[in-house]
Chains A and B, each alone.
Chain A
Amino acid sequence: DAGVTQSPTHLIKTRGQQVTLRCSPKSGHDTVSWYQQALGQGPQFIFQYYEEEERQRGNFPDRFSGHQFPNYSSELNVNALLLGDSALYLCASSFTQDRISTDTQYFGPGTRLTVL
């Protein structure tokens, strides 16, 4: 049973560039959430995708956008990168029943983004 996978593992970009991170949910899951974890901090919620639509969004600017594909995998895009975007980006999956996502989220190994 494959768990949540993310790619790439590490990424280095320069200010102003754009980046795309990818996530495949755990087998049987259809809902994907993205979190940003700054060094030494707890994860902060970015947004959640279900049925290829953004269902919930945290307090992040529009530079952060996402997409979910029919196979439930997801992408996180960040435009106009800032130094402050350097962080570990975590993807978590869950499944939705009767249009309500279950409470337990399973996390991937994360993508470490460094912005120079």
Chain B
Amino acid sequence: AQTVTQSQPEMSVQEAETVTLSCTYDTSESDYYLFWYKQPPSRQMILVIRQEAYKQQNATENRFSVNFQKAAKSFSLKISDSQLGDAAMYFCAYGLAGTALIFGKGTTLSVSS
């Protein structure tokens, strides 16, 4: 069965600094998708970034980028130039096309000024 593990329950960063959130997963599939979602206290789950496993190039969305290591089954999220609004719970998720998403337990990110 597929699993997603986020080993950092909490992380903190100062404004304008860079932080990296870790995620590992287990699967026997070769074609799948990985996601990072952000959930602020408002509860709305917001898609941050998406990676297709068959693409070697790491996905980037503005200040957010990933380091996708397929062989190691690792999918970390890097947030550059951190802002107060980045404070939230971040979830790593795995999915196959058309199927349910499997989420990790999340990492709470706090940002200080």
Q: How far is the CA of A115 from the CA of B97 in the complex (A)?
A: 34
Interface residues on B, range: 20 to 34
**Is B25 an interface residue when CB atoms closer than 8 A count as contact?**
no
Residue pair A103, B97 in contact (C-beta under 8 Å): yes
Residues of chain A with a CB closer than 8 A to B46's CB: 107
**B60 smallest CB distance to A (angstroms):** 16
Residue pair B47, A103 in contact (C-beta under 8 Å): no
**B108 smallest CB distance to A (angstroms):** 9
**Is B101 an interface residue when CB atoms closer than 8 A count as contact?**
yes
Interface residues of A in 37-93 (CB under 8 A from B): 40-45, 48, 56, 58, 88, 90, 92
Which one of B37, B45, B91 has the greatest number of beta carbons of chain A within 10 Å? B45
Residues of chain B with a CB closer than 8 A to A96's CB: 98
**A30 smallest CB distance to B (angstroms):** 12
Residues of chain B with a CB closer than 8 A to A92's CB: 45, 101
Residue pair B98, A43 in contact (C-beta under 8 Å): no
Residue pair A42, B43 in contact (C-beta under 8 Å): no
- Nearest neighbor of B35 in chain A, beta-carbon distance: A104
- Interface residues, chain B, with chain A CB atoms under 8 Å away: 4, 33, 35, 37, 42-47, 50, 91, 93, 95-106
- Interface residues, chain A, with chain B CB atoms under 8 Å away: 33, 35, 40-45, 48, 56, 58, 88, 90, 92, 96, 100-110, 112
* Nearest 8 CB-CB pairings of A with B: A42-B103, A45-B100, A107-B45, A101-B98, A103-B33, A100-B98, A109-B44, A110-B43
